[in-house]
């Protein structure tokens, strides 16, 4: 069975969900802005910067979803959401694959690199949204 890899921003979401009810819509907006930015960078990496785009199946499978459930719970999911692309993770993390695990694919970090870099931008996005509240 192929593995569908989704990168959840659980730690990030937990800290944002501690905000009051008043911040709920702004928390969702902040996660949406950050998710869009991350998706654009990942897709740029899949367009020749790190990975060469051949069929477009991997590129087109990536998307993000920000959903609210309950009073203070917002979930952001970014990853291969539109279709089962079993080679997504091996291209990012590298490893052995194929019959008998004889083929070695180097780690290309086309998405984990982006997550590591862009989590730092969250503070700026939150500050921008908080300014809207207190105007």
Is this structure's pTM higher than 0.85?
no
**Region 36-52 average pLDDT:** 86
Identify the pLDDT of residue 1.
37
Pairwise pLDDT comparison (107 vs 21), residue with the higher score: 107
Q: Cβ of 100: how many Cβ atoms within 10 Å?
A: 7
For 49-69, how does the pLDDT look when each residue is reduced to its tens digit (9 = 90+)? 788 888 888 899 999 998 887
Residue-wise over 30-43: b if at least 16 C-beta within 10 A, else e?
A: bbbbbbebbbebbb
% the chain with pLDDT above 90:
13
Spans of all domains in the chain: 6-130
Confidence at 27, pLDDT banded by 50, 70, 90: confident
């Amino acid at each position: 069975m192929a593995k569908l890899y989704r990168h959840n921003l659980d730690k990030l979401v937990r800290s944002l969900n501690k905000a009051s009810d008043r911040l709920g819509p702004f928390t969702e907006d902040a996660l949406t802005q950050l998710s869009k930015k991350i998706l654009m960078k990942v897709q740029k990496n899949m367009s020749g910067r790190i990975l060469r785009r051949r069929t477009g199946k991997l590129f087109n499978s990536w998307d993000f979803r920000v959903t609210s459930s309950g009073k203070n719970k917002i979930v952001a999911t970014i990853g291969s959401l539109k279709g089962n692309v079993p080679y997504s993770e091996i291209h990012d993390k590298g490893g052995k694959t194929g019959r008998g695990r004889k083929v070695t694919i180097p780690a290309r970090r086309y998405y984990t690199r982006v997550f590591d870099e862009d989590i730092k931008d969250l503070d700026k996005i939150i500050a921008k949204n908080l300014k809207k509240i207190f105007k």
